[in-house]
Amino acid sequence: MADPRFPHLFEPLTLRGVTLRNRIISTGHDTTLPTDGTVNAALVEYHRTRAKGGVGLIIAQVAGVHETARYTSHLLMATSDACIDGYRALAQAVHAEGGAIFSQLFHPGREIMESADGLLAVAYAPSVSPNERFHVMPRALDLPLLREIVEGYAQAARRMWQAGLDGVEFVASHGYLPAQFLNPRVNRRTDDYGGSDAGRLRFLEECLDAMRAATSPDFVIGMRISPDEKDEEGLTSTEALAACKALESRLDYVNLTVGTSASLGGAMHIAPPMAFGAGYAAPDAVAFKMALGVPVFIVGRINQPQVAEAILAAGQADGCGMTRALICDPLMPGKAERGAVDDIRACIGCNQACIGHFHKGLPVSCIQHPETGRELTYGTLPPAPQRKKVMVIGGGPAGMKAAITAAKRGHTVTLYEAAAQLGGQALLAQLIPGRAEFGGIVTNLAREMELAQVAVRRGVRVDAALVASEAPDAVILASGGVPYVPDLQTDGAMQIVTAWQVLRKEVKVGAKVVVADWRCDWIGPGIAQLLAREGCTVDLAVNGLVPGETLPLYVRDNIAADLHRAEIKVTNYARLFGSDGDTVFLQHTASAAPIMIEAVDTLVLCLGHTPVSDLESALRGKVELHMAGDCLTPRTAEEAVYEGLRAGCAV
């Protein structure tokens, strides 16, 4: 029996020929797990894991319906019957675990990100309407090609039906080809496929009719659409709702999302970072829920079952897309159903290893749960052949994950942390504006340590003598890093501090501040925003192309928006040289020309970190030693947690 706190979330939902066991949905998202355009074992195991965890519906990633649909080099294709066997294996795996499985059917139109061979592709759209984000100038679809694409949707749907999937989802969201036909600012055709609301709707009608004719009466066909593309040239809520009402008789459900791929501001909503509130898009669904007779789904940072239950209870939607929540914790539905909500590993919306990996062409994962995307390797932890006494030194993310993994494998584990609190640098990260949820990684790992029965000793600084007295069988060193402070040319007149000192309130900065950002991550811009909010005049000097250059794209673009709104001056290509009096000296990294910022009170260094690994030489050769995280070399929480997993498996 489901936990009484979630009466709506675990209520079954019937869509034509399939009944979902609950209202939790893994919405379509590119995993980059397939390597040759077909479903492979890694993708099957990825979705099997989430079905086993209790999700109601899995909507698999987009499948191209025509050769012109290749918007990335790793797109799944449904253009040949050769795809059927792979999808059949996927359907069987999900069904065996009690889940339902649909596939998205997709054509991007002008939204072409990349090609397989580095050459720019020929993109197609209803009209010659340029794309702002990818700088693509498309060709207008002629009628023969348009009809080929309609038939492509039909044949792709047939293949999914023959493979045993429960349904398909027609992707008309995020400014992709069907949305381009609906949008009068993009579709300027004067033939039967433009010129009026009825004309702009015709392409979608023909695709849906062809898909239904090619499948069976009990096969589910739904549509994903953006009720608001969050762009001045994008599809409006009024236009999207009118289209849904006109198409309602052809649809079994409507899956709502937000934003568009066509602009930087609109694209942020494809996978909104933690700066956006939980469930923030739910109000956009209300008008659709009231106007439509078919079920309505909604997404948008729904990262906890409590958030989903509130949306359903308020009648804003009939189902909730919780994709990143399931990437972070595939077992979330089952935990919620049995009332173990404190055991859920909540997504923090960092975007680093999920959508961030996709944009790099890498397989999906999660900084908190690196087993995601690596199910074939780490899906089941092998028990330790011999139980050992394991000493973990350092209570940041690397040490915590190492301790959890080793304990789960059967070792007796004690973790030592010099500070009074667990968490390491994550405790500082959560103090940055818009990054408060980053502290969730500490809460989640601490709970996992408790469940794994890891002993914890806080406020204990470990030295070689303590290791010798404890006599462990193995040591995992995860002692982290500290701010890097170079030898700068300075006369000592200017206050020079580190980001850590600012966040810990150890210093009082002056009225005019220069933030020197070498790492090009979120720390420099975050410190700049923090000090600007406190009334400082801030110059952000970035040793890179743009602020946030190393970050996932949507996080970077949201930071750019925040900096612009705060009127923080940004100097790019800026290498810190030193200071003299009240002047900060920098150098342009491309031209080598000097850059000077005058009348500065405080210089804040965000120049990366240096490893703390003093114990390595003292322990090497004297005990089984493994290392993880910043003590190897400072990077990010993703590497720290992954290396903690590996260390815990290696011991």
pLDDT tens string 476-521: 999 999 999 999 999 999 999 999 999 999 999 999 999 999 999 9
Residues 29 and 61 in one domain: yes
CATH code for the domain of 626:
3.40.50.720
- In a domain? residue 3: no
Report the pLDDT averaged over residues 22-28.
98
Share above pLDDT 90 across residues of the chain, in percent, rounded to a whole number: 98
Residue 8 lies in a domain: no
Helical (H) or strand (E) element with 501: helix 499-503
> Which stretches within 57-167 are classed as H helix?
84-96, 143-163
Q: Is residue 187 part of a domain?
A: yes
Residue 2 placed within a domain: no
Same domain, residue pair 586 and 473: no
Q: Do residues 522 and 274 make contact, with C-beta atoms less than 8 angstroms apart?
A: no
* Calpha distance 326→347 (Å, rounded): 8
Identify whether the C-beta of residue 139 lies closer than 8 Å to the C-beta of residue 122: yes
Place of tokens 């030898």: 487
Let me know if residue 4 belongs to a domain.
no
**CATH number of the CATH domain containing 156:** 3.20.20.70
Give 540-570 pLDDT, tens digit per residue: 999 999 999 999 999 999 999 999 999 999 9
pLDDT digits 0-9 by tens, 512-542: 999 999 999 999 999 999 999 999 999 999 9
Say what the pLDDT of residue 1 is: 73
Domain end among 377, 405, 431: 377
Residue 173 has pLDDT above 90, yes or no: yes
Residue that is last in its domain, among 591, 607, 623:
607
Give the mean pLDDT of 122-135. Answer: 96
Pairing of strands 124-125, 139-140: parallel
Tell whether 508 and 456 lie within a shared domain: no
Rounded distance between C-alpha atoms, residue 559 and residue 435, angstroms: 11
Same domain, 406 and 353: no
Specify whether 60 is located in the same domain as 204: yes
Same domain assignment for residues 365 and 437: no
Q: How many helices (H) and strands (E) does the chain have?
A: 22, 29
Is residue 503 domain-resident? yes
Considering the chain, what is the average pLDDT of its residues? Answer: 97
**Across 14-18, 118-122, 357-361, 508-512, least confident range:** 118-122
Average pLDDT, integer, range 75-89: 98
pLDDT band at residue 55 using 50, 70 and 90 as cut-offs: very high
Cα dist from 516 to 108, 467, 513, whole Å: 40, 39, 10
**Structural domain harbouring 506:** 489-607
Domain presence at residue 1: no
CATH number where 536 lies: 3.50.50.60
Confidence band for 628, pLDDT divided at 50, 70 and 90: very high
What is the C-alpha to C-alpha distance for residues 182 and 364, in angstroms, rounded to an integer? 32
Q: Indicate the number of domains in the chain.
A: 3
Based on the domain organization, do 213 and 180 belong to the same domain? yes
Assess whether 130 and 251 both reside in one domain.
Answer: yes
Pick 164 or 17 by higher pLDDT. Answer: 164
**What's the pLDDT score for residue 282?**
97
Residues 478 and 496 in one domain: no
Residues 6+ apart with CB under 8 A from 486: 607
pTM: 0.96
Start-to-end CA span in the chain (Å)? 40
Q: Is 209 exposed, middle or buried (0-12, 13-18, 19+ CB in 10 A)?
A: middle
Paired residues of 412 in beta bridges: 389
Alpha-helical (H) ranges within 518-613 are 523-533, 553-565
**Contact status, residue 62 vs residue 156, Cβ threshold 8 Å:** no
Cα 148 to chain centroid, rounded: 34
Q: What is d(CA 494, CA 585) in angstroms, rounded to the nearest whole number?
A: 12
**Residues 384-417: tens digit of each pLDDT:** 999 999 999 999 999 999 999 999 999 999 999 9
Residue count of the chain, please give it.
Answer: 651
The predicted pLDDT at position 73 comes to 87
Q: In whole angstroms, what is the distance from residue 322 CA to residue 332 CA?
A: 10
Give the pLDDT confidence score for residue 308 in this predicted structure.
98
CB neighbours of 132 closer than 8 A, spacing ≥ 6?
Answer: 262, 263, 264
- Strand 512-517 and strand 602-606: the pairing is parallel
Same domain, 567 and 627: no
Q: Which of 377, 409, 444 is the last residue of a domain?
A: 377
Indicate whether 185 and 49 sit together in one domain. yes
Amino acid identity for residue 45 in this structure: E
> Does a structural domain hold residue 6?
no
Are 502 and 520 contained in the same domain?
Answer: yes
610 three-class SS: strand
pLDDT of the residue at 2: 81
The pLDDT, as a whole number, for residue 535 is 97
